[in-house]
Every structure is written in C-alpha cells, then in structure tokens.
Amino acid sequence: MTTSAPPYDLLAVPHAGITFAVRGEAGALARLRQFTAPFYQSVAEPSGQLWELNLELTDEKAGHEPSDGSEPDHRAEFDAVARTLTVTCPSPRWLPVLGLRYTRTIVRTLAIAAGSVPLHGAGIDAAGVGLILVGDKWAGKTTAALSLVRSGTAALVSNDDVLLHEVGVGWQMVGGPRSMGVRTSSLGEHRPLLHPAELRAAAGLHPAKRPDKAFLLPGALTALGGAVRATGPAHAVVELVCRPGEPVRHDELSGPQAAGVLRRYLETSADRRRLALVEALGAPAPALTDRTLASLVGSLRFHRFTHPVDGWMDGFLAFVNEHVGFEGTAA
C-alpha cells in the first residue's frame, strides 16, 4: 500500500527570489499562509532559490503551551548548503510563528548580501508616498506608525525593521511578516484612540500573552482599520526623539545630519537573535558604502521630530500631513 506525500505549500518571496516549500500539519500550513500574507505569495510552481521548510510538532508534550503565554521551547535545524530548515516545537499555535522567524532571517540575510540596506524603523506607504520612522527604543515608532495607518489611507510596510532596495534612481521599502508589539501603556496616545478591548481582539491570533504588551500579526491590522502592503516607495525619513518636558519641535536635516541618522539606525546584523543561521548563510554584515550613503541622502528627505512623553500625536500627524505629504493624516 502506498501513502501520499505529506501536504506542502509553495510560498514565494518575489523581491528576494526565494520560494519556500513548506511541509507540515495542514493547520500549521494554513496559519503560516495567513501570517505571512501579503509578503509571501502562494504559487503553483517554485521560482528562484528553493528552500525546504519543515514544521514539526514534537511527540513529547505535543499540544502543550506554557500557561503564562510565554514562548515554548523549540528546536531549529538547518543546512544552508542543502537549503533545508526544520523547526520543531510542541505547540501548534506557536509552530508557524517560530517558522516564519527563520524564513525572515533567510530572506533578510540574502537581500542584504545582494545590496539591500536594513534600517531599524517602521515603513509606511500612503498612496505612493513612503515614510520611514526611525528612533531609539521608546521613541514612539510603533505608536506613530499605527496612528498613521489608522488615521488615513496609509498602509504598513514594515514594523521595527525595513529593507531599502535601490530601484533605478530611487529607493523602495520592502517589509516582512514580523509581529508588532503594542505597549498597553501607550494606548491613550494613539489616534484614533485605541481601546484595550479592540487591541486584545486584534491580537487574538498571536499566541504570546503579556500583561504589558499585545502582539499583532501583520494581517491583524485590518481589524483595527489599517492595511498592510509588501512594498512601497521611499521618500522621507523621520527620526523620532522623545524628550520629556520639552515641547514638540521638528527640524529638516542637512546632508551630514542625514548621513548620521542612516549610520545610527543601520541594523548591524540581518538578525540579532538567529546569528547561527546568519553565519551559516555566509553573508557579509550590513554596511553603508560611500556611494550608497550618497544615493540615500540625495534621494530622500530627512526630518527630526522631537516630542514629549504625552500629548504629541496630534502634532505629529499634522507635521506629517504638511511636511511629508500624507493626505488625510491631520487629527
């Protein structure tokens, strides 16, 4: 008696020239498709570089999840030469989330090796106007990005990391299926106001549970009135700076200041957590050549928006509407 082959999906990442042949339990495959859209596309035939991704539930403690909502133990085995990756864990809900983290590492590493520039920031596209928000931790990048997406016609391209690809004489933002962590303490700053019940409902698909933060998978933004886009043009960079007790202020940056911003927020690795996989892929660390730096500074506009801890979002939306050109974002 013969048995059929295990179910599999072909998920293509067009901008990276990679297709993942994903094998595993049908429910895990369905969730992975849902979690990675629109960044990965279901296809009938592979194109470009083919990777095999296996999502496997462990026999021991299968179905077990930590009671506190924390991430379960998992194992990842990979062979960069054979282009195979196997991710194993006991939780059906966590398995596709863990799997997509490793696929993102592969995609980002190879894209950076091909010349893409990784910035620690959020990318937003509003009707063809592309904005990148950069800043240190607690600067308000996620709050600002969500407010832009929910306040007007903008779509989120990427949260917390964005790849810049050179296209002709300009640059393009490329995103990926990374979850967005929203601090519950920030909800009063969001525009429109984001209520805890709304956030909890939208975050229901993500298995992580923390009292101080909710995690949104990219597609969950539609439940909050937002949209997600895989790519978008890049036109402007805004550095967010939080200065407690100081008033709202915005400045247009000079060429040397813009170059400093790019150097400051350039990611130092394709993935700071999965370093063994990055090393196995053999790609060089991200770098800004003089030519790339000159192209970015010459192609994009650079601003700095300084704000206090509270009560700054209306001023930020008005600033973006006037100085960046995002229609319909003024509060």
Q: What is the pLDDT of residue 50?
A: 96
Q: For residue 15, name the pLDDT band (cuts at 50, 70, 90).
A: confident
Residue 160 has pLDDT above 90, yes or no: no
Q: What is the mean pLDDT of the segment spanning 288-304?
A: 96
Q: What span, in angstroms and rounded, lies between the C-alpha atoms of 317 and 331?
A: 6
Q: Structurally, what CATH architecture does the domain formed by 117-324 represent?
A: 3-Layer(aba) Sandwich (3.40)
Q: How far is CA 145 from CA 56, 180, 221, 226, in A?
A: 35, 10, 11, 10
Residue 295 has pLDDT above 70, yes or no: yes
pLDDT digits (tens, 9 = 90+) for 196-244: 999 999 999 899 988 899 999 988 999 999 999 999 999 999 999 999 9
Cα of 295 vs its chain's centroid, Å: 24
Residue 288 has pLDDT above 50, yes or no: yes
Average pLDDT score over the chain:
91
3-state secondary structure 96-138: HHHHHHHHHHHHHHHHHHCCCEEECEEEEEECCEEEEEEECCC
Given a contact cutoff of 8 angstroms between Cβ atoms, the answer to whether 26 and 95 are in contact is no
The structure's pTM equals: 0.92
pLDDT digits (tens, 9 = 90+) for 100-154: 999 999 999 999 999 999 999 999 998 889 999 999 999 999 999 999 999 877 9
Instruction: Give ranges for CATH 3.40.50 in the chain.
Output: 117-324
Residue 2 has pLDDT above 50, yes or no: no
Cα of 227 vs its chain's centroid, Å: 13
Q: For residue 330, name the pLDDT band (cuts at 50, 70, 90).
A: very low
pLDDT digits (tens, 9 = 90+) for 61-114: 555 677 777 889 999 999 999 999 999 999 999 999 999 999 999 999 999 999
Fold of 8-113: Chitobiase; domain 2 (3.30.379)
Residue 6 has pLDDT above 90, yes or no: no
Taking Cα atoms as reference points, which of 283, 299, 321, 277 lies closest to residue 167? 299
Q: What is the pLDDT of residue 329?
A: 54
Strand 236-242 to 129-135 pairing:
parallel
Given a contact cutoff of 8 angstroms between Cβ atoms, the answer to whether 159 and 226 are in contact is no
Q: What span, in angstroms and rounded, lies between the C-alpha atoms of 260 and 266?
A: 10
Of 59-68, 191-200, 315-324, least confident by mean pLDDT is: 59-68
Judge if the upstream peptide bond of residue 192 is cis by omega within 30 degrees of 0: yes
Instruction: Give ranges for CATH 3.30.379 in the chain.
Output: 8-113
